[in-house]
Amino acid sequence: MKISDVLTLALTDCHLSGRSKKRVLENISKLLSTQLGGGSEQSEILFDNFVARERLGSTGIGKGVAIPHCRTLGVKRIYGCLTKLAAPVDFDAVDDQPVDLVFALVVPEEKNDEHLSTLARIATIMQDDHSRQLLRQCNSHQQLFDTMIELERTKKP
């Protein structure tokens, strides 16, 4: 599944706040729940699912990037949320470096193949030094969104 199929401008935040991994996941959960049409209850469910996934192992893949993801009942399609953090946070990443770029995914229980292919596309872009540099230079939600879509168009996993 393509990033452009799961990411919208409304789910792109160029200055997401959060002083800790949990606060960042909480803020991402709130952003996602508003776009999914849910309220605080759905936000709490998403947050709990993200935290449960992090307990299995950090989704901080290194070089300042994290790709938190979780399966959630009642979701009909995959949703992506791209954020550039206002300040880097400790995410227990594999290289022990703080994270400032986060691409979160919420996936329906039954979408395993699509989940894996979407993760692969995101990882391909985020593991590239030039791509990360371009994303970090963005100063608006629109610019961050457009840059990610353009990077996907030019980089094939």
Active site residues: 69
- CA 71, 76, 82, 87 torsion-angle sign: negative
Cβ neighbours of residue 101 under 8 Å, at least 6 residues apart? 64, 65, 66, 83, 84, 85, 126, 132, 135, 136
Q: Which two tokens stand for residue 12?
A: 């792109």
Tokens of 125: 């872009």
At 123, the amino acid letter reads: A
